[in-house]
Amino acid sequence: MKLENIQVYGLGNAIRCSKFPMAVDIGKPNNEITDTVKKLGSSNKGEGHDTFLNGILVQFDLTFTIKAWTEAERYHFFDFISSQSTMHRIAKFDIKLQCNEYVTNNTINEVERLKGIYLETQDKENYLRLLYNVPTGFQLTAGMTTNYRQLKTIHAQRRNHKLPEWREFCKRIEELPMFRELCLGDE
């Protein structure tokens, strides 16, 4: 798992807007993190008190295995900006470099063998054999957009997950600016 090129947008503005429900004069709310802001941000999922977290946008490049991508795509945690493509580039990848440490050498060697056959023949059936034998430990990178509210949900659901890349991802999002204070209620 790699999380790179992280950019956070709208943090101060979202904090300021979180104070609107109690404001009479909307010129007075500021971006200071108060106990109320922390309470709103760390409220239980589904209560709706944490909607201001939607305004804290996060973009990053995420490298996950196919197994983790399959799980990520089941939920609406992220919006894909763009991603690497096995459909377009499987015959160009260095299979060994793309696989995580759990993929066996036998598997890597077989996929490399199938890649060689496809490159030699350019046959559509050989392409499909290559494509469908890529292991779930094959890693691909995608540019993602999400927000603190979605990341809060991911953290709650995935911090103790069986896949180590989900646990690592959760540790990394805890390092985002003010994430712990706003989403987890930590000092």
132-181 tens-digit pLDDT: 999 999 999 999 999 999 999 999 999 999 999 999 999 999 999 999 99
Distance CA 135, CA 99 (A): 8
On whether the CB atoms of residues 18 and 40 are closer than 8 A, the answer is: yes
Nearest to 41 by CA among 165, 151, 145: 151
The type of residue at 7 is Q
On whether the CB atoms of residues 58 and 148 are closer than 8 A, the answer is: yes
Could you give the C-alpha distances from 24 to 16, 17, 29, 39, in angstroms and in order? 14, 13, 10, 20
Distance CA 184, CA 165 (A): 20
Residues in CB range of 145: below 8 A, 6 or more apart: 57, 58, 59, 78, 79, 81
| pLDDT, the chain, mean | 96
Residue with tokens 């260095």: 94
pLDDT confidence of 60, banded at 50, 70, 90?
Answer: very high
pLDDT confidence of 76, banded at 50, 70, 90?
Answer: confident
pLDDT value at residue 17: 96
Token pair for 92: 């160009």
pLDDT value at residue 137: 98
pLDDT value at residue 186: 76
Q: What digits encode the pLDDT tens for the residues 13-30?
A: 999 999 999 999 999 999
Sign of CA dihedral 88, 136, 156, 4: negative
pLDDT value at residue 174: 97
| Length of the chain counted residue by residue | 187
Residue with tokens 């990053």: 60
Q: What is the mean pLDDT of residues 112-135?
A: 98
Q: What is the mean pLDDT of residues 41-51?
A: 91
Nearest to 75 by CA among 134, 175, 158, 180: 158
On whether the CB atoms of residues 23 and 75 are closer than 8 A, the answer is: no
pLDDT value at residue 98: 98
pLDDT value at residue 75: 81
Token pair for 61: 């490049």
